[in-house]
Structure 1
Amino acid sequence: MAKIQPGLERISQLLRGVHFPWQSIHVAGTNGKGTICHYASSLISKKKSKLTSGAFTSPHLIDRWDCIKINNNPVDESIFRKIEQHYLDLNLKEGINASPFEILTATAFTIFNEERVRLAVVEVGMGGKLDATNILNNQAVCVIAKIARDHEGFLGNTLNDIALHKAGILRKNVPYLISPQNETNVKHVITEYGDQIGAIKTDNTVLPRSFYTSPGWQHASNQLRSMQQTNLLLAAVATIKAYESLTLRFTPTALTEDLYKISSPVNHSALNPGRLEEIKVQPVFGDPNGINTSKIKGRRIMVDGAHNPDAAKFLADHVNSVQRRKKRGEKRKTVIKPPRNGWRVTWVLAMTEGKDAEQYLSILLQPGDSVITTTFGPVDGMPWVKPMDPKKLLKIAQAVHPAITGMAMPRDGVLRALCAAKFLADPQGSIVLTGSLYLVGDFHRELRPRRAQDYMTAPEYEEDRKRFKAMLQTEEKRVRALFGNPHAQPSTQDSTIEESPFTPNTSPDLEQVDVDSEEQDPRQLERERWSNMQAELATIDNTLDAIAEEELNVLKKWAPQKDESRKEEEEKEKNGVEEKETSDEDEEHGKEQNESNEIEETDEQDMLTIQNEQAKQAESFHSPEMLEGLTMLDEKEPPKTHTTHEGDQGPVTRHQGLPEQLKMGNERT
């Protein structure tokens, strides 16, 4: 079967004589197009119009057929395989030499016909103009998401060339939307092409201003970051325009109710797996003894399919402003504030061969972070997709930031890599799995049979739990051997390595990092230096908070006493004036002056008292070591009390009116 071959000849032969009675929301772009499709599909499926809807996105996440959905649910496997086999036979019989993606596209569109779909959301595979999905002639609306450099070998080396390919999905007299996240020259290229063919440029003015003050949108804008807000807004407008094309009504009021549900953290992860997805991994981070099984215990990890520099910027922005800055602990007394530079992150990474790993990693990594490089297995239907060698990827990471700690996992096995990450990560730090959607797919495939609520206790999972226990022990031993015990994390219940398929004596997976001990020592020393510095700064921050709280308590205690003293003096002054009304004006003025002096003297005495109390409090908090730490703190910048998110359009602000970053081209660019 052929590899990637842009062009419409083969898909035209596969679908010869096939018509498309349904209409489509056609979405192209580099980053965000999948998210827009998931949002739009969810909005359509939540409507009560009994409209049968479809969705076709790529690549698939777990199974090949889960990229085709009917009413937002994966198509039945038997239906998929029946229609796919028809096109596999046709391809072989007529010698079409179609690619796997072209077979998949023909299968999806035929399933939509069979299921009597009225509206389908279709994601472009690559580019737009020559993509197999562009065989469609039934677009209700087209959407161009954020465009960045990717697939340059097929689409061109400049953003303008890539933008022109994406604009190829536009149609005459069909409305289209452009993401405001795009650069000005990109929007200009798309708009110019749209004008040439007679496409209708539209924007978010179809939404009334009351939409932006509705509870649904306010909730969505608070839950989602800038780029995701934009993607959700694009999906909402595209859905409204598609309903207009079908002569159906989609009211903004009903829309805001759906936005509220879609943008909640739980639903967002469910609707957008692999996109800022936070998830618990029971086998790795759960309770090894099956205790507290009423809820899934254990730390969450973040899973994101960012695979190019532009997507890495969005992921890094979220990690740096949220994950690194999170306070840890559940109760007020046990809350731990992040150190000044934020918590360190442990990255579990795999990338496709040919990607710009150096630029990608330079965006994500920070000094002191940890990296575990791994790989992914064969991609179903895409035999030409190969993962980058983990050892090569690790060397690139170490070249980008020599201060990082890293190790390579030469064979595929995402959960094994997470076992190592458990012991390499800071207790308070985050673990982020990223670099490829194929890695995300492997993760979900490995985790899927182990997500049962009773996984930690049910007898049928006992053998699997034993394997994971042995795997955890093996990876703990390896991390300790390579890096010592940098975070003093508690080990597993039984530190003896069990004989199992995962032990060093039987598993070739245990070949590890091609780094000798002499090369490892400087990085370990640098890591320990960072750890000590961040711990010291965290201690100083907590001490300053305690000092401020004590001083505030003293001031609160002193303030009422001072008020009563003033009242007594004022009462005496009032009585004195009433008793001596016959005194002359000069004598009365003299008494008032004396009383004023007495009050000032009282104030001075009160201030001396509070200063003495503060000095006593300071003695209890300011040990010589602490004074030295406070001196260090004074020489540095003051701690930030908030973070500013820099989006593609500059700092993001929130207000009740139309958000500036969400205006979608009311003016021509």
Structure 2
Amino acid sequence: MDTENVVEKFKEFERFGSRLGLERMNVLMELLGNPQKNLQCIHVAGTNGKGSVCKYIYEALQENGYKVGLFTSPFLEVFNERIEFDRQLISDEDLKICTDRVLEKVEVMLSNGFDSPTEFEVITAVAFVYFNRKKADFVVLEVGLGGRGDSTNIIERPLACVIASISFDHMDRLGNTLEEIAAEKAGIIKEGVPVIINVERPEAAKVIARKAYEKNCVLYDVKKIKYAITEKSIEGYKMDTTIYGTDYAEVEIGMVGKHQLQNVLTALVTLELLRKDRIIQVERSRLYAGIKKAKQNGRFEVMNRDPYVIIDGAHNEDGAAALEKTAEELLPGKRMLFVTGMLGDKDTQKILDHFAQMADDFVLTEPDNPRRYPAMKLTKDLQERGKNCITIEDPIEACRYALKHKTEYEAIMFAGSLYLIGQVRGLLKSENK
């Protein structure tokens, strides 16, 4: 059975929707022998930035000789990207073995009259089974949706609970106010476990602080940590900072955008606390090397230079705002062609407000997803903002059109749905070979 067949098996669970709550997960993990109880996890939630925070922590630990698992979502090109261990994506063979084991227990669940787990619950269980088989020293675990009822929240005592940011996204599931969304994310906080937050909006930060207090946790607020940028370019940044008495001078990161400085600070605070608690031992030079190696595909990723061809999965308002700021900082005044396609359940107009600040010329397309927002509507929305628009519904054709016209521009930006970015990335990689 190849990966495609395994993914098809996961898709059979799509019909059960995305239901938050841990009842099904508890039953499934019990049947599997609770492999998650053998794992030391760092649990990371947040609206934006959580994937980058996970990557920084993962690479820093890897570089220091630890065997580390990384569970993230979604994937851009191949499903195996979601489960990584020791800098290798899960192999097709291991994916099949672990999936078969989980599906066998799902059959037992169903025959005993329990509700079926959801697709994400099954995939999370596969990751736990795999990391346990590999005897991971640590697992960096990214929350799928929210926190409280997310399947990753089955872990009872993580080493640290990290909340990278709070903003509006998935309001249909998590609530319509920042306080409600924050309460869902704060659901990962466990009794006495250190809580690291990097939350800008005070009303959201208060909700998390209250939850940390109730659970007798020490709260570490990354926003209070000062830093200085010493170098910046489209290749990345260097910065100096001090974290709880430890100097971190000339930290170099290869991900760009000022929001990445916040993400790396969040990761460094987490690592510093684990070091001070003697849970990890790290060599400074190796920690720096790991941080520098961390890359997040599809996050202001430069695929080509002269002209710049950049892809960015800015698929909600805060992501679009961060992209606008980064483009303003690193591509000031450059003539840009902007290619975008989105899903219909996002706050499209607010995202477009940011995109419209970056370019006058747009190609509007559609991600390969049933929830796609029609390209013709995007065209109308941007024409109302005074933009020049071309509509090409097929994303691959839209990408080819943009590349054909690249000599007319100094930069081409592909941004929007991660489904779109995944498709485009594959094509751009093959063009660059």
Counterparts of 2:181 and 2:269 in 1: how far apart (Å)?
24
Query: Given that residues 395 and 420 in structure 2 are in contact (C-alpha distance below 8 angstroms), is that contact kept between their aligned partners in structure 1?
Result: no
Query: Given that residues 345 and 425 in structure 1 are in contact (C-alpha distance below 8 angstroms), is that contact kept between their aligned partners in structure 2?
Result: no
Counterparts of 1:343 and 1:410 in 2: how far apart (Å)?
26
Counterparts of 2:290 and 2:137 in 1: how far apart (Å)?
24
Counterparts of 1:223 and 1:122 in 2: how far apart (Å)?
20
Aligned counterpart, 2:259: 227
2:46 aligned with 1:24, yes or no? no
Counterparts of 2:358 and 2:341 in 1: how far apart (Å)?
20
* 1:615-645 deviation digits (Å, cap 9, x = unpaired): xxxxxxxxxxxxxxxxxxxxxxxxxxxxxxx
* 1:68-120 deviation digits (Å, cap 9, x = unpaired): 11123211121012211332343245323221111110000111100001211
TM-aligned CA distance change 1:36 to 1:116, over 3 Å: same
**CA drift at 1:208:** 5.5
Aligned counterpart, 2:300: 276
Equivalent in 322, 325, 328 of residue 317 of structure 1: 325
* 1:585-634 deviation digits (Å, cap 9, x = unpaired): xxxxxxxxxxxxxxxxxxxxxxxxxxxxxxxxxxxxxxxxxxxxxxxxxx
Aligned counterpart, 1:4: 18
Aligned counterpart, 2:288: 259
2:427 aligned with 1:410, yes or no? no
TM-aligned CA distance change 1:184 to 1:104, over 3 Å: same
Aligned counterpart, 2:402: 421
2:120 aligned with 1:101, yes or no? yes
Counterparts of 2:275 and 2:359 in 1: how far apart (Å)?
51
Equivalent in 405, 416, 424 of residue 443 of structure 1: 424
After TM superposition, the score normalised by the length of structure 1 is 0.56
Q: What amino acid maps onto 1:189 in structure 2?
A: V
Equivalent pairs, count: 394
TM-aligned CA distance change 1:451 to 1:344, over 3 Å: closer
Counterparts of residues 611-630 of structure 1 (less than 5 Å):
none
Q: What amino acid maps onto 1:239 in structure 2?
A: L
Counterparts of residues 123-522 of structure 1 (less than 5 Å):
123-179=142-198, 181-203=199-221, 207=243, 211-212=247-248, 214-215=249-250, 217=251, 219-220=252-253, 224-243=256-275, 247-250=279-282, 253-254=284-285, 258-259=287-288, 262-263=291-292, 267=293, 271-280=295-304, 299-323=307-331, 325=332, 342-366=333-357, 369-378=360-369, 386-399=371-384, 401-402=385-386, 404-413=387-396, 416-424=397-405, 427-449=408-430, 451-452=432-433
Secondary structure of 1:192's partner? helix
Counterparts of 2:105 and 2:344 in 1: how far apart (Å)?
32
Counterparts of 2:346 and 2:323 in 1: how far apart (Å)?
17
**CA drift at 1:449:** 5.0
Counterparts of 1:250 and 1:210 in 2: how far apart (Å)?
13
**CA drift at 1:299:** 3.2
* 1:470-526 deviation digits (Å, cap 9, x = unpaired): xxxxxxxxxxxxxxxxxxxxxxxxxxxxxxxxxxxxxxxxxxxxxxxxxxxxxxxxx
Structure number with larger C-alpha Rg: 1
Q: What amino acid maps onto 2:403 in structure 1?
A: K
Equivalent in 120, 126, 133 of residue 139 of structure 2: 120
Counterparts of 1:198 and 1:438 in 2: how far apart (Å)?
40
After TM superposition, the score normalised by the length of structure 2 is 0.84
Counterparts of 2:178 and 2:310 in 1: how far apart (Å)?
30
Q: What amino acid maps onto 1:397 in structure 2?
A: L
Secondary structure of 1:211's partner? strand
Query: Given that residues 344 and 429 in structure 1 are in contact (C-alpha distance below 8 angstroms), is that contact kept between their aligned partners in structure 2?
Result: yes
Q: What amino acid maps onto 1:91 in structure 2?
A: V
Counterparts of 1:77 and 1:423 in 2: how far apart (Å)?
36
The structure with more helix, counted as a fraction of residues: 1
Identity percentage of aligned residues: 28
Aligned CA-pair RMSD: 2.4
Counterparts of 1:77 and 1:245 in 2: how far apart (Å)?
37
Query: Given that residues 240 and 250 in structure 1 are in contact (C-alpha distance below 8 angstroms), is that contact kept between their aligned partners in structure 2?
Result: no
Secondary structure of 1:139's partner? coil
> Gaps spanning 5+ residues in structure 2: where?
1-12, 226-241
The structure with more strand, counted as a fraction of residues: 2
Counterparts of 2:356 and 2:391 in 1: how far apart (Å)?
16
Counterparts of 1:36 and 1:185 in 2: how far apart (Å)?
22
Counterparts of residues 649-660 of structure 1 (less than 5 Å):
none
Secondary structure of 1:354's partner? coil
Counterparts of 1:129 and 1:177 in 2: how far apart (Å)?
16
Counterparts of 1:301 and 1:411 in 2: how far apart (Å)?
19
**CA drift at 1:398:** 1.7
Counterparts of 1:259 and 1:203 in 2: how far apart (Å)?
22
Counterparts of 1:119 and 1:447 in 2: how far apart (Å)?
34
TM-aligned CA distance change 1:209 to 1:174, over 3 Å: closer
Aligned counterpart, 2:228: none
Counterparts of 2:339 and 2:276 in 1: how far apart (Å)?
45
* 1:206-237 deviation digits (Å, cap 9, x = unpaired): 8355624x23x2x44x9844321111111122
Query: Given that residues 63 and 290 in structure 2 are in contact (C-alpha distance below 8 angstroms), is that contact kept between their aligned partners in structure 1?
Result: no
Counterparts of 1:273 and 1:7 in 2: how far apart (Å)?
30
